[in-house]
Amino acid sequence: MSEPLVFKRYYVWQLPVRICHWVNALSILLLSITGFLIGYPVIAGSSPDAYVMGWVRFVHFVAGYALLISVISRLLWSLNDHCFSGWREYFPFLTREGWKNILVMLKFYFFIDRKTPDAVGHNPLAVTAYVGLFLIFFGMFASGFALYAEHAPGGAMHGMLKPVYLLMSTQTMRLYHHLGMWFIICYVINHIYSVWLLDVKEKGGEITSIFSGYKYTTKLHVFSEGKECDENGCFIKTKK
């Protein structure tokens, strides 16, 4: 216990990652509020020209487009060769190190061990939830835009979404779209709790990281390729 403890600062979330994150969070918030109001229109217009539902739906559609653009941008960004935001980070189950980290994390969650994984960037268990979330997003896009395009059958969007219409009836689409919201709400509860927990337990500025981009840690991120990461999140080749 004699050597001094060194917290190293890593640049884990680049600006585009943070922007996408907050655009996602904001649009999810708007989509859930307006979506709920579409399902249960509790706010009533007092006169026929009030356009209350009209605006609610308008906000829903604009936020829907914003989320679509943000999610696609994030996916494209994951193609760059960054240690922490690259696409490989999303699939820990493809590598042995990833599996090990998932196990460590599960032990942590089930109070078996107090150790957290040797991961500087994403939490290896959380990324599996992100992958699930992105799949739900695409379900929401498909059903949402398919419901939306029904105002103009024969239009380009309606044509593009033909597989969705062949797959299920409009009412089924509506039901799954509605249920999707509840799955996302469950995800958000889980997500906010987990980042809080890791913030408290790892003491590395987890929550701050999604605002500033930096995390502080004593750990060394282990990559399966035998690569290492510098403080900017760029790969450096090491001999192994």
Helix (H, G, I), strand (E, B) or coil at 229: strand
The single residue among 29, 43, 79, 94 that binds other proteins, judged by CB under 8 A, is: 43
Footprint of other proteins on residues 118-147 (CB under 8 A)? Answer: none
- What length does the chain have? 240
Half-sphere exposure of 169 (CA within 13 A, CB side): 2
Closest to other proteins by CB, 163 vs 236, is 163
Footprint of ligand HEM on residues 161-180 (CB under 6 A)? Answer: 174, 177-178
- The alpha-carbon radius of gyration of the chain (Å, integer) is 21
- Asked if 72 touches other proteins (CB under 8 A), the answer is no
Tokens of 168: 């299920």
Q: Taking contact as CB under 6 A, which single stretch among the options 30-38, 101-109, 164-172, 226-234 is the one that binds ligand HEM?
A: 30-38
Residue 20, Ramachandran bin (φ over 0: left; ψ between -120 and 50: alpha; else beta): alpha
The single residue among 19, 33, 59, 61 that binds ligand HEM, judged by CB under 6 A, is: 61
Q: How many CB atoms lie within 10 A of CB 98?
A: 22
Contact 119, 128 (CB under 8 A): no
- Asked if 167 touches other proteins (CB under 8 A), the answer is no
Q: Nearest approach, Cβ of 1 to ligand HEM (angstroms)?
A: 28
For residue 222, what are the CA distances in angstroms to 92, 173, 237?
Answer: 12, 43, 13
Closest to other proteins by CB, 63 vs 161, is 161
Residues near other proteins (CB under 8 A) are 1, 5, 7, 39, 41, 43-45, 47-54, 56, 109, 111, 113-116, 150-151, 153-154, 162, 165-166, 169-172, 174-175, 178-179, 181-183, 185-186, 189-190, 193, 196-197, 200-203, 217-218
